[in-house]
Amino acid sequence: MRKIIRGPLPAPLPLACLTFTIAPLMMAATPARANDPAPSAVPAASAAASAADTAAEEQDSPTSVGTGAHDRGNEIFVTARRRQESSQEVPLAISVVGGEHIDSTGSFNVGRLQQLTPTLQFYSSNPRNTAVNIRGLGVPFGLTNDGIEQGVGIYVDDVYNSRVASATFDFLDVAQIEVLRGPQGTLYGKNTTAGAINITTNQPTFDFEGKAEVSIGNYNFKQAKAAISGPLTDRLAARLAISSTSRKGTIYNVVTGEHIQGQDNLGLRGQLLWKPTDNLDITLAGDFSAQDANCCGSVYVRTGLTQRALNRQFEALAAAQGYAPPSRNAFDRLTDLDTDLRAKNKIGGASLRVKWDLGEGSLTSISAWRFWDWDPSNDRDFTGLPIVALSQNPSQQDQYTQELRYNYSSDKIDFVVGAFGFYQRIDTQGTEAHGAASSRWNINPGSDTVVPPGSSGCGPTAAQQLACNPATLNGLTAYNTQYLKNTSAALFGQLSWHITPELTIQPGVRLNYDKKEGYYLRQVFDSAGNPVLTTGPASAIKTAQLAIFTPQEISPEFSDWNFSYDFTASYKVAPDVLVYATYAKSFKSGGINQNGVPTDTQNNPILAAATVKPEDVDHYELGIKSQFWDRRATLNLSIFRTDIKNYQANVNNGQFGVLRGYLANAGAVRSQGVEADFSVRPSERFNLYANGAYTDATYRRFSDAPCPPELSGGTTVTGTQTPGAAGVPNSLSPANCNISGQRLPGVSKWSFSFGAEVNNPATLFGKEGEVYFGYDGSYRSNFSSNPSPSAYTWVDGYSLSNFRLGFRAESGFDIYGWVRNAFDQNYFDQLFVGPGNTGLIAGLPGDPRTWGLTVRYGF
């Protein structure tokens, strides 16, 4: 029986937001008690019965916590440093989100989690092209390249997920999520230089328990979740969880009559816990997730003038073929993409975790295999014209990891030492083809004359005839074959030495080895199936075809050792006030350009561009964690600065040609800022939180960056020629641009999350409980949606408001109505520069107002 706490607050809840982003999170988290095991641990079988009896009296029960947290009068515990400890005792910038808060706010994947954690950035045009960054750092903004590492590590029950696509799946039976900010290489298996997202799922229990939840809403939203756990024998327990989400898309395709950008997700997770002895836990886990939505597309947003000839820009090219977008207002949410859209995505795997308690220390082994199958189809021209008829790059990944860790704790010393091994194999088979509208769109007829629709010819010149003949490029097809072998190994460790009860110093080290071997082959064929080669006799048709697709074959390789270290000193100024300072030196592994490299004037690959150097990271941080008013209030602050040399940047190509994008090293990047969190809970009936971050993330030195669209498309300058003004047609274009001092893409200078909840005792359907009303809001200022900031791709700042009203009973019953983006704010998740330097800007609108009802029951 669950018991709702009445009367005076037994003990204020120390919120879990470390250096900032967590007030709601903390309040949302279901706190572990001081005598409870870490979220990933399970009580010994012999102790299970007594633990169950205690839990029956004190089981998570809703109180005044606005974010749906449950008060047991104790602290929130985390495992960020690979051991269980109070979040306020950890000298680390960390955000903690409880599983219940994830459910009650509809934050069922990382994309929605960013509304609760202001320094987390998430961008996804489709599952493969997904970026998860912290403080503006992690992976380059734009097209995904398999040849580099992600700077933000995603871990589920200690298992590293190497593909960011895993972030697009629904959270499944989650206990809590910790977002660690800053380099984490001396604690975590993979050397994640920007931070880590540590997801802990609910573990098998030796008490029978279960929960179920059903939600319905507009846009035909349907979501169901269920989990059940219990003993199979006195030494063997099992847990099974399932989740299903579906929703009609929010964009209507006038060509196909279908809604796109929908959701169709299924997730399964099963776990077996065997305790042959009281000090040995062996957990076997398996999971599978699938997505099969009608996805992913875009809408027309605007056009902006480039330096191309005026007759080669979007409006003239569209008029020449009698084309107009279905709407000039992006928030009509209409598109006319004429290529089949597909985003089939499957991720799963199995893991074996062995934890042996040795008294003061414990030995942990995690062996895991994971797979990822990606089957896409995209419309790469962003229009309803058959320019790009086919664009798809399906891939298959297998990854194997082995981590061995020893943790030791005593009054004076705590430490963790570990070894980590990683192997990954990715195979990709790409197909790209152009359609009947490609010739007129892509071939310059050499005249400013705009050819009327239906005209039989452009004029007497060969270029004009080529441009007006659909057969020139129609059916031109490129087949891409590539693979990647990625091997990594590391030794790491971190020591906490408690010099006095107040003063602790914490050094950490990491020795890392990385090796990448790649292969890329592009073969090009005309509509008759004849190979199009860079060798042999030249012709006007062949030149036009090679400008679209250029054959290429490369075998890039990279390998290197690096040594990382960090040092943290923390001091307890008072029992509830901790100050700390950190310096970290880390490296992000070098990489290879797995999607091809630029070519020279003879169409030969520039092999010097096949590899990118490692990022060299220097990180500094100061923080204070404090609680006051009998721990009813929490205030945490941190300031940070991260300097990166040889930052791995994404370079976008303005043409359809050999490359959509490739990697290059920017000279230097800096991210610095301030993070703050405040939360207060004056009584069990009310709580309030506010989190904020100021992030100044800029290129400090990038003098040879790709130019934005307004400085592209014209004839490239040579010698002493002077480039033309931005956005002036028929101008000379610079070969590259100096964007030093400009902001990194995807980063808002200001971001906030805030909210509150109030409740009151009530009776409904004969059940005693409480009625509650909650609000969660977020705000972020404008950000650039292009690797090189462009006047055409700034996304305006926006604010979102979410409300919920419901009743929860002491029996475990909970029913509530919710509305998200309550004021129907129009905003963009991302903007895209159309190919070909035509000035087309497409975009992905954020979700409109959604509303629904959720019913939940747990026992």
The tens digit of pLDDT for each residue in 715-739 reads 999 888 999 999 999 999 998 899 9
Residue 367: exposed, middle, or buried by beta-carbon count in 10 A (0-12, 13-18, 19+)? middle
837-851 pLDDT, tens digit each: 899 999 999 999 999
92-136 pLDDT, tens digit each: 888 888 888 787 777 777 877 888 888 888 888 888 888 889 999
Q: List Cβ neighbours of 106 (8 Å cut-off, separation of 6 or more).
A: 112, 802, 818, 820
Q: How far is CA 770 from CA 8, 71, 103, 486, 814, in A?
A: 16, 14, 18, 53, 10
Rounded to the nearest 5°, which phi and psi values hold at 55?
Answer: -65, -35
Cα–Cα dist 240/769, whole Å: 29
Residue 298: exposed, middle, or buried by beta-carbon count in 10 A (0-12, 13-18, 19+)? buried
Helices vs. strands in the chain: H and E counts, helices first: 8, 45
> Which 8-state DSSP code applies to residue 480?
E
What are the percentages of helix, strand and coil residues in the chain, rounded to 5? 10, 50, 40
Q: What sign does the CA torsion over 453, 459, 464, 468 have?
A: positive
Chain-centroid distance, C-alpha 314: 32
Residue 479: exposed, middle, or buried by beta-carbon count in 10 A (0-12, 13-18, 19+)? middle
Q: What is the pLDDT of residue 298?
A: 96
Cα–Cα dist 243/249, whole Å: 19
Q: What is the pLDDT of residue 192?
A: 87
Q: Which residue has the tokens 């169409």?
A: 603
Q: How many CB atoms lie within 10 A of CB 474?
A: 18
Q: How many CB atoms lie within 10 A of CB 282?
A: 16
Cα–Cα dist 230/52, whole Å: 12
**pLDDT of 25 over the 50 cut:** no
Cα–Cα dist 634/13, whole Å: 9
Q: What is the pLDDT of residue 660?
A: 55
Cα–Cα dist 625/75, whole Å: 14
β-bridge pairing 750-764 and 258-260: unpaired
Q: Where are the domains of the chain?
A: 23-435+473-858
47-103 pLDDT, tens digit each: 333 333 333 333 333 222 233 333 333 467 777 777 778 888 889 888 888 888 787
- Which amino acid is it at 409? S
224-242 pLDDT, tens digit each: 999 999 999 999 999 999 9
β-bridge pairing 715-716 and 174-181: unpaired
Triad 756, 761, 767: Cα angle to 5°? 120
Q: How far is CA 520 from CA 128, 191, 555, 797, in A?
A: 18, 26, 6, 40
**pLDDT of 616 over the 90 cut:** yes
Cα–Cα dist 387/389, whole Å: 6
Q: List Cβ neighbours of 80 (8 Å cut-off, separation of 6 or more).
A: 18, 87, 90, 92, 94, 178, 180, 187, 198
437-491 pLDDT, tens digit each: 999 999 988 755 444 554 444 677 878 888 889 999 999 999 999 999 999 999 9
Q: What is the pLDDT of residue 15?
A: 34
Structure tokens at 612: 């990118």
204-223 pLDDT, tens digit each: 999 999 999 999 999 999 99
Q: How far is CA 361 from CA 45, 83, 357, 364, in A?
A: 20, 10, 6, 10
pLDDT band at 653 (very low <50, low <70, confident <90, very high): low
**pLDDT of 652 over the 80 cut:** no
Cα–Cα dist 707/731, whole Å: 14
Q: Which residues of 554-590 are buried (b: 16+ CB within 10 A; e: fewer)?
A: bebebeeebebbbebbbbbeeeeebbbebebbbbbbb
Q: How far is CA 389 from CA 250, 327, 433, 844, in A?
A: 24, 22, 5, 21
> Which 8-state DSSP code applies to residue 62?
B
CA neighbor of 203 nearest in space, from 117, 282, 259, 260: 282
Q: Quick check: 735 and 679 in contact, CB under 8 A?
A: no
Find the mean pLDDT for residues 812-841: 95
| pTM listed for this prediction | 0.88
Q: What is the pLDDT of residue 12?
A: 35
Q: What sign does the CA torsion over 115, 119, 125, 130 have?
A: negative
* Residue of higher predicted confidence among 184 and 326: 326
- Asked if residue 296 has a cis previous peptide bond (ω within 30° of 0), the answer is yes
Helix (H) / strand (E) element for 511: namely: strand 503-525
Q: What is the pLDDT of residue 405?
A: 96
**pLDDT of 831 over the 70 cut:** yes
With the CA atoms of 48, 54, 55 and 57 taken in that order, what torsion angle do they form, in degrees rounded to the nearest 10? 150
Q: List Cβ neighbours of 771 (8 Å cut-off, separation of 6 or more).
A: 759, 760, 762, 764, 805, 806, 807
Q: What DSSP line would sit under 138-193, residue for residue? A: SS-SSS--TTS--SEEEEETTEEE--GGGGGSPP-SEEEEEEEES--TTTSSS--S
> Which 8-state DSSP code applies to residue 737?
B
Residue 331: exposed, middle, or buried by beta-carbon count in 10 A (0-12, 13-18, 19+)? middle
CATH superfamily of 23-435+473-858: TonB-dependent receptor, beta-barrel domain (2.40.170.20)
Structure tokens at 821: 């983006």
